[in-house]
Chain A
Amino acid sequence: MPLRSRLSSPFLSGMNRVTLIMAQLLLALIPAIIALVYFFGPGVLINIVLAVVIALVTEAVMLKLRHRPIKPFLTDGSAIVTAVLLAIALPPLAPWWLTMVGILFAIIFAKHLYGGLGYNPFNPAMVAYVLLLISFPLEMTTWLPISAFSDAPIEFDSAFQMIFQGQLTTAVDSLSGATPLDAMKTEIGLLHVPSQVIQQPLFGHFGGKGWEWVNIWFAIGGLALLYRRVISWHIPVAMLSGLLAISLITWLLAPETTASPLFHLVSGGTMLGAFFIATDPVTAATTVKGRLVFGAGVGLLTYIIRVWGGYPDGIAFAIIVMNMLVPLIDYYTQPKVYGAVK
């Protein structure tokens, strides 16, 4: 290969590319997406496609407005990752405008107004998720009952109509169902004992019905990313340990009023957050020690918000709060340089 290249060494370059990282991330999400579709119907897929299309168009427009080259940035895959992450965090039959508002906010405000790829202090998908959760609490918490287990599974066309026209063709008994995390919180609020709460049909073997499997598939995808060294182990391990530690302590102290650690690990967005969102390199801490602190912080905050906060799941809030602390964390966790005097 002729050397046109650079002024300064090194003249060799590894295989690692931003696009490659993003592509592997998306690949690792596939098993969990299949599980989501299996449990919650094809609406998930429609959401994803819708989100990706809107995200790409918005990204292109923003790049154009900011006078940035479009091709290298559009093909880096970061907009697609943001879109997919937000889409799978939304309820499976979320109305189309909800997805659109979320993506527009994520790409325009959370990403490009901060300077685009690499410059955003907060994870765009999580910023959008939080915006939607605060602005449209009803739509954001309306989850379907597990379709695979209900009598009338949702077909593709009915999901399509639900998303775009807001009505269903087939009769479904109850449209609004709470997530298991939500239900657990409500039930504990009513002074019911968690060990009995999980006997309800909404709950599965050790977590929410369906949710437990989705979480496991997210974890498997995450482990694949770890194996491929796309992400480092520090953040997921620290976050899950943080969550496990605090839930174990409270559970041991008060088993009557708190859900089991296992339930927390496989509920809501725990695994998605641990492997795919908290590990977003742009917004996470960068030093090794800093990543441990960052991850543990996300784990602890998630639990605190879930149990004592006003929202059923705290992942998004926890990640955003920890994003804010990143500069501080990085500053105080600098590694000791070679030869530093002790």
Chain B
Amino acid sequence: MFTAIIAITVMALIFGLLLGFASIRFKVEGDPIADQIDKILPQTQCGQCSFAGCRPYAEAIAAGEADINRCPPGGEATIQALAELLEVEPKPLDEECGVEKPKTLAVIDEDRCIGCTLCIQACPVDAILGAAKHMHTVIASECTGCELCVPPCPVDCIDMVETKQNPNTWRWPDPDHVDIQLGDRS
């Protein structure tokens, strides 16, 4: 009886030490959780989640202050990835924040632009080029399609156009969801 208690206590101690040692020795250095969440977010900086950008939203999720379904540009895929990372159930996109839309690009109608610089100030990624009283233009490769430049424009000269697929960015359709008969290629 007594020996059994001692034996078990000693074993518990040994294994406890082993576990403790292992947890220090084999510690996995990972990014802080907010960084990992930020990596998943699409970085449009659009603010549709009601935060001032992707980073603040990521920090809010990490702190447990925001839900994972508040990112319309990321849509399904982002929610899925976040759910996986945080090991929670995925849920549908919060309609309050917006709906998932095809990717778009801001285009300034250069004839109508009056060069007011308001859109330049609104762009979160400095993707609009121009100077006061001079026509502005969007650097297409840098535009995230966040639409933040649209409301400030006093002459409504900014259009959001869908980014077109070209043969180089075209992706093979998922064979599991393709009509075997030739036709639906998109």
Which residue numbers of A lie inside 8 Å of B, CB to CB?
Answer: 4-8
For the complex of A and B, 4 pairs with smallest distance between CB atoms: A7-B178, A4-B181, A7-B182, A5-B182
Besides A4-B181, A5-B182, A7-B185, 9 other A-B contacts (C-beta < 8 A)? A4-B182, A6-B180, A6-B182, A7-B172, A7-B173, A7-B175, A7-B178, A7-B182, A8-B175
Across the interface, name the chain B residue whose C-beta is closest to A5: B182
Give me 6 A-to-B residue pairs in the complex whose CB atoms sit less than 8 angstroms apart, sorted by A's number. A4-B182, A5-B182, A7-B172, A7-B173, A7-B182, A8-B175
| Range, interface on chain B | under 10
Q: Whole-angstrom distance between the alpha carbons of A7 and B172 in the complex?
A: 9
Contact partners of A6 in chain B: CB under 8 A: 180, 182
B148: min CB distance to chain A, Å: 39
- Contact A8 B172, beta carbon cutoff 8 Å: yes
User: Beta-carbon contacts of B93-119 to A below 8 Å, as 1s and 0s?
Assistant: 000000000000000000000000000
Contact partners of B180 in chain A: CB under 8 A: 6
B55: min CB distance to chain A, Å: 39
B163: min CB distance to chain A, Å: 23
Contact partners of A8 in chain B: CB under 8 A: 172, 175
Within B133-182, the residues touching A (CB, 8 Å) are 172-173, 175, 178, 180-182
Q: Whole-angstrom distance between the alpha carbons of A5 and B182 in the complex?
A: 7
Q: Whole-angstrom distance between the alpha carbons of A5 and B178 in the complex?
A: 12
Across the interface, name the chain A residue whose C-beta is closest to B179: A7
Within B50-106, the residues touching A (CB, 8 Å) are none
Contact partners of A4 in chain B: CB under 8 A: 181-182
B180: min CB distance to chain A, Å: 7
Q: Whole-angstrom distance between the alpha carbons of A128 and B40 in the complex?
A: 48
A6: min CB distance to chain B, Å: 7
Which among A4, A5, A7 has the greatest number of chain B C-beta atoms within 10 A? A7
Contact partners of A5 in chain B: CB under 8 A: 182
Across the interface, name the chain A residue whose C-beta is closest to B184: A7
B122: min CB distance to chain A, Å: 43
B106: min CB distance to chain A, Å: 34
B176: min CB distance to chain A, Å: 12
Across the interface, name the chain B residue whose C-beta is closest to A8: B172
Contact partners of B185 in chain A: CB under 8 A: 7
Contact partners of B172 in chain A: CB under 8 A: 7-8
Q: Whole-angstrom distance between the alpha carbons of A4 and B175 in the complex?
A: 16
Q: Whole-angstrom distance between the alpha carbons of A4 and B182 in the complex?
A: 7
Q: Whole-angstrom distance between the alpha carbons of A226 and B164 in the complex?
A: 54
User: Beta-carbon contacts of B6-41 to A below 8 Å, as 1s and 0s?
Assistant: 000000000000000000000000000000000000
Q: Whole-angstrom distance between the alpha carbons of A4 and B181 in the complex?
A: 6
Across the interface, name the chain A residue whose C-beta is closest to B183: A7
Across the interface, name the chain B residue whose C-beta is closest to A6: B180
Q: Whole-angstrom distance between the alpha carbons of A6 and B184 in the complex?
A: 11
Q: Whole-angstrom distance between the alpha carbons of A5 and B175 in the complex?
A: 13
Contact partners of A7 in chain B: CB under 8 A: 172-173, 175, 178, 182, 185
Q: Whole-angstrom distance between the alpha carbons of A8 and B172 in the complex?
A: 9
Q: Whole-angstrom distance between the alpha carbons of A4 and B180 in the complex?
A: 9
A222: min CB distance to chain B, Å: 36
Contact partners of B182 in chain A: CB under 8 A: 4-7
A13: min CB distance to chain B, Å: 14
Q: Whole-angstrom distance between the alpha carbons of A271 and B178 in the complex?
A: 44
B68: min CB distance to chain A, Å: 31
A160: min CB distance to chain B, Å: 48
Q: Whole-angstrom distance between the alpha carbons of A271 and B173 in the complex?
A: 46
Across the interface, name the chain B residue whose C-beta is closest to A3: B182
Q: Whole-angstrom distance between the alpha carbons of A4 and B179 in the complex?
A: 12
A69: min CB distance to chain B, Å: 14
Contact partners of B181 in chain A: CB under 8 A: 4
A118: min CB distance to chain B, Å: 15
Q: Whole-angstrom distance between the alpha carbons of A6 and B180 in the complex?
A: 6
A321: min CB distance to chain B, Å: 30
Q: Whole-angstrom distance between the alpha carbons of A136 and B180 in the complex?
A: 49
Contact partners of B178 in chain A: CB under 8 A: 7
Contact partners of B175 in chain A: CB under 8 A: 7-8
B172: min CB distance to chain A, Å: 7
A212: min CB distance to chain B, Å: 50
A9: min CB distance to chain B, Å: 11
Q: Whole-angstrom distance between the alpha carbons of A7 and B176 in the complex?
A: 12
Q: Whole-angstrom distance between the alpha carbons of A8 and B175 in the complex?
A: 9
Q: Whole-angstrom distance between the alpha carbons of A271 and B175 in the complex?
A: 41
Q: Whole-angstrom distance between the alpha carbons of A6 and B172 in the complex?
A: 12
Q: Whole-angstrom distance between the alpha carbons of A5 and B179 in the complex?
A: 10
Q: Whole-angstrom distance between the alpha carbons of A131 and B185 in the complex?
A: 49
Across the interface, name the chain A residue whose C-beta is closest to B181: A4
